[in-house]
Structure 1
Amino acid sequence: MRSAPGCALLAVLVAAGLSACATGDRISDDERLAIYRAHAGEPVKSFRYFGRFDSWTPLGDEALAIWTRPQEAYLLEFDGSCYNLDFATAIALSDQGGMVYAKFDKVTVLGAGAGAVSIPCIIGEIRPLDTRAIKAAEADRRENGTQPADASDG
């Protein structure tokens, strides 16, 4: 079965447009981590955790951001790599009596696919995040392709 030349051209243009949308505006893990680091406060030893969190964002295999409330988030940097974090469908977070401690508690990757090993990732550092500044920086990056001022300091 043959298609009309116009239909083939239209299909190519649609595919190209979708491809541009998928890759042109995507922020890489390194860029996103730089944004989060640029908008993170000084390290804290712990944060309050009530057994659930609103959401989480993997930042490569070095770190993850976790939202404990809609406007409250923390950057968790790991001691070493946290394998399969980008492929996880869920994570588990350990705590001690409702508190998560740096150098003691862990993130465990769950649902990373068949055969994936779930090795707990030790939280090396916890830093509170300025969630509004992060959202603004990510939007600016998507719109203008700009980097945070200290992205190269990473």
Structure 2
Amino acid sequence: MKTLLLPLLVTLGLVAGCASTRPSDADRLALYEAHAGAPVNQIRYVDPMGWDRIDDQHVVLMMRPNESWLLTLSGPCLGWSTGSPFLGLSSFNGMSLSRLDKVIVSGSQVSCLIQQIRPLDVKALRAAEGALRERAAAQPSGT
């Protein structure tokens, strides 16, 4: 029993240490907002690479490796309460995305109007995220 308990405690300690280095939603939002440009009315929307949920009202839309957009939504529709991280759009024009469009969570009746679209400086954002990870790795864990 003791031989099973020690690896379990070590694993739990590692998991707790990793969890404490993840930035909060508020910290992540501040980082993205610091690297976002002025709002635009619409963007070209063709074959997106994916989405990244920041909090219940903000999502990053990744179009290409060096093209991402910070979307601010009208309400808290990104709680993933449905268990599905898939997002869809009710776009009025399949080639563009504007403040008139809505984000829809698959399997949910909730949809949120896009209130704001801001371009992200992807290179600067990646550099800032890397610096944060290095700082977090250099800090001793709070165990």
Q: Say whether the fold is shared (TM-score over 0.5).
A: yes
Residue 31 of structure 1 pairs with residue 27 of structure 2: yes
Cα distance, 1:56 vs structure 2:
0.8
Within the alignment, does 1:42 sit opposite 2:10 as a pair? no
Give SS of 1:74's match.
Answer: strand
Of 5, 9, 13, the residue aligned with 2:6 is 9
Given that 1:32 and 1:138 are in contact with CA atoms closer than 8 Å, whether structure 2 keeps it comes out as no
Tell me: CA distance 1:135–1:85, structure 2 relative to 1, closer, same or farther (3 Å). farther
1:25-73 superposed Cα distances (whole Å, 9 cap, x missing partner): 21221111111100000000000012x3101111111110001111101
Match runs of 1:53-132 below 5 Å:
53-85=48-80, 87-95=83-91, 96-102=93-99, 104-111=100-107, 117-132=108-123
Question: How has the CA–CA distance of structure 1 residues 81 and 10 changed in structure 2, closer, same or farther, with 3 Å as cutoff?
Answer: closer
Runs of 4 or more, structure 1, over 3 Å off, are 85-88
After superposition, the C-alpha distances for 1:106-148 in whole angstroms (9 at most, x for unaligned) are 110115xxxxx33111000000001111122222222214xxx
2:132 matched to 1:141?
yes
Please provide the CA RMSD for this pair. Answer: 1.9
Q: 1:24 to 1:75 in 2, by over 3 A?
A: same
What runs of 5+ residues in structure 2 fail to find an aligned partner?
137-143
Structure 1: runs of 5 or more not aligned: 112-116, 146-154
Give SS of 1:134's match.
helix
Aligned residue identity for 2:5: A
Assess if the C-alpha contact under 8 Å between 2:53 and 2:78 holds in 1: no
CA distance in 2, matches of 1:118, 1:142: 37
Number of matched pairs: 134
Q: Which amino acid aligns with 1:131?
A: V
How far apart in 1 are the matches of 2:90 and 2:64?
Answer: 17
